[in-house]
Structure 1
Amino acid sequence: MNLHSSTSGSGYRGRLAPSPTGYLHIGHARTFATAWRRARDAGGVLVMRMEDLDRDRSRAEYAEAALADLRWMGMDWDEGPDVGGASGPYAQSERGDLYLEVWKKLREGGFIYPCRCSRKDLAAAVSAPHEGAGRGQDPDDEPVYPGTCRPLRKGEGEFEISSDTGEEPRGMNWRFRVPDGDVVEFDDGNLGQQRFVAGVDFGDFLVWRRDGVPSYQLACVADDATMRITEVVRGADLLKSTARQKLLNRALGFTDPKWFHCELSTDEQGRRLAKRHDALSIRELRRRGMSAAAVLSAEWPSAL
């Protein structure tokens, strides 16, 4: 896998990236339909990537259902686990060597540091409201890190990073040290100009977990770069992830894709739809006889 392939290639390349931790719901369907339509309207290539790093919840049957349900909705893709392609493998669980290579590059550049803090430790140390409560949550969201394990500054742009950690992450958390006060901005293709401040809107974030699994942020950046993705279409709950991923891209020398964040689908109480809404899964709506067009156009809750 070539870490430098992000700078090569031409033309539009989009992706669909379901997580097989449950059945897809109508919110997923609408976001994926937008990604599919933008790729097809651009005459580009669409990549199917299965984001199955959650070892506890990912299931093969959910992965198979995602492919079947999206095809039922009329979507297709040019590369993926079921059709092959030059950018595989197309399941994150099979891309561990790539993620380790990216981790090493970040460590060698002095961008990351080992952290022994657990989520319980952070909950005890941080009294501020959860940072995800306002502008949306993502798979690795957490309170702004209080800096418990953050290395001391040696000089301008240099930090005291442990050098005895070996060639692998070895059973501890690793965090990306954000440049405090840096403004991270991007022009979203759907929601317009976005602005986040590192160290305020988000803190030092996980790139590797102690259970041996790379974080969503690291895996997503590595995959989008090596798969040469030119536009990322996903839900607005991941806006803050984009700010983090821009910092990772800069550290790794990767070219940023464009971003297009879709409005979130909500239930009748205004809560974001999640996989716990089994009655609104594509699988269940298919069983009830709804057409794909109806699933994509129905308004909550009367049409469902």
Structure 2
Amino acid sequence: MSNLIPTSYRQGAARYIGRIAPSPTGLLHLGHAATFWTAHQRAQEAEGKLLLRNEDLDPHRSRAGFVEAMLEDLAWLCIVWTPPMVSQSERLALYREALDRLLLAGHSYPCRCSRQDLARMAHAPHDDHAAQEPDDERVYPNICRPALREQHLEPAFQPNTNYRFRVPDGAVLRFTDRNLGPRAFTAGIDFGDFLIWRKDGVPSYQLACVVDDAAMGITEVVRGRDLLKSTARQMLLQRALGLTSPEYFHTPLLVDSEGNRLAKRHDALALRTLRERGHSPERVIAMFQASAIRSGT
């Protein structure tokens, strides 16, 4: 795969390279703060680097104002990251190259299911517009999956077409999470063929994440436990693309006083709102620590 990573990342890179990857589709909230603070702490403890990736692939919901707000919020929370910031909207060539490789190797096929069927698969599984429960994307019923002997007969990339990754049914994906311990998911049972490219020319969360983590040299991914199944999906993509899997550290999901998961719809818990109410960074850190205790994980 072409190496389009900025030279500054490659020269003198620390052994530990982590990342935070906010989406500029809303204001950062307490749940983001908890995950990003954990990533920051782990990078600091390892005397490594923490990179910032702006996951701005959604053309309808991404806003420049949210990018500015997230940078201000990260600075206010004293989260230190190593520039430059990577923006996914500027890296479409990398994602398309990965898709072409998957097509050539017979790992992907066109999917002609309706827009309504695919709408929520365009976002990361933890997005409010996607899953309502942790990583609850339904197993794809293989409506468009070609017979294995026919898959190599599929034509090359076709514009205005959705593409799915063909999972090896029955394959067990095992990994030891650095926070939650051993995990295992079975392809075709816990998750099915998943979307990797949308017909509007945008890669899915899964594909973009895998390509960027590899290109940025990420050694550990810190993110919420609602993305455990996504780790299994991404491991399949990494294998298919000949990439090394990073380590993973999944954090507990934060909940409110009623046990509901914190999300972007909780405007009162946006960092910007808390700042305006006079909260200090120390108080915010204490808030998400208390929420983590309520989550029971």
Fold in common (TM above 0.5): yes
After TM superposition, the score normalised by the length of structure 2 is: 0.87
Which of 45, 49, 54 is the matching residue for 1:50? Answer: 54
Establish whether residue 219 from structure 1 lines up as the match of residue 205 from structure 2.
Answer: no
SS where residue 104 of structure 1 aligns?
Answer: helix
> Does residue 11 of structure 2 align to residue 20 of structure 1?
no
Deviation string, structure 1 residues 66-86 (Cα, Å, up to 9, x no partner):
1110110111111233xxxxx
1:160 aligns with 2:164: no
1:177 correspondence with 2:166: yes
Q: What one-letter code is carried by the residue in structure 2 that aligns with 1:69?
A: D
Shift of residue 122 of structure 1? 7.4
Q: Distance in 2 between matches of 1:122 and 1:174?
A: 11
- In structure 2, the CA distance between the partners of 1:133 and 1:180, relative to structure 1 (3 Å rule), is farther
Pairing of 1:139-288 with structure 2 (within 5 A): 142-154=137-149, 159-166=150-157, 169-288=158-277
Does the 8 Å CA contact 2:107/2:165 hold for their aligned counterparts?
yes
Q: How many matched pairs?
A: 273
- Contact 1:151 1:161 (8 Å CA) reproduced: no
Contact 2:14/2:48 (CA < 8 Å) preserved in 1?
no
Aligned AA (2:174): E
Report the CA distance between 1:218 and its aligned residue: 0.3
1:97 maps to 2:119:
no
| One-letter amino acid of the structure 1 residue matched with residue 77 of structure 2 | M
**Structure with a larger share of its residues in helix:** 2
- CA RMSD between the two structures: 2.1
Q: Which amino acid aligns with 1:96?
A: L
Residue 113 of structure 2 corresponds to: 117
Runs of 4+ in 1 over 4 A off after TM superposition: 131-134
Partner-residue secondary structure (3-state), 1:234: strand
Any conservation in 1 of the 2:50–2:82 contact (CA below 8 Å)?
yes
Counterpart amino acid of 1:94? E
**Unmatched runs of 5 consecutive residues or more in structure 1:** 82-89, 124-130
> For residues 200-247 of structure 1, what are the alpha-carbon distances to aligned partners after superposition, in whole Å with 9 as ceiling and x for unaligned?
010000000112110000000000000000000011111110000000
Alignment-derived partner of residue 66 in structure 1 = 70
Q: CA deviation at 1:20?
A: 0.5
Secondary structure in 2 aligned to 1:18? coil
- 8 Å CA contact 1:13–1:229 kept in 2: the answer is yes
- Residues 22 and 275 of structure 1 are in contact (CA less than 8 Å); yes or no, is this contact kept in structure 2? yes
Which secondary structure state, in structure 1, belongs to the residue aligned with residue 221 of structure 2?
A: strand
CA contact (8 A) 1:113 1:162 kept: no
- Report what 2:15 is aligned to: 11
Which of 282, 286, 289 is matched with 1:297 structurally?
Answer: 286
For residue 275 of structure 1, report the CA deviation from its aligned partner.
Answer: 0.6
- The offset of 1:52, in angstroms, is 0.5
2:80 maps to which residue?
76
The answer (yes or no) to whether the contact 2:256–2:262 under 8 Å persists in 1 is yes
Instruction: Find the residue that maps to 2:183 and give its secondary structure.
Output: strand
Q: Which amino acid aligns with 2:99?
A: W
Whole-Å separation in 2 of the counterparts to 1:233 and 1:165: 35
Q: Identity of paired residues, percent?
A: 56
Distance 1:121 1:64, change over 3 A: closer
Task: Describe the shift of the 1:173–1:283 C-alpha distance in structure 2 as closer, same or farther (beyond 3 A).
Answer: same
Farther-moved stretch of structure 1 (52-61 vs 113-122): 113-122
Q: Give the letter aligned to residue 222 of structure 1.
A: V
Taking a change above 3 Å as real, the CA distance of residues 34 and 149 of structure 1, as seen in their structure-2 partners, is same
- Give the CA deviation at 1:165: 3.6
Summarize the Cα distance change of 1:65–1:122 in structure 2 as closer, same or farther, 3 Å threshold: closer
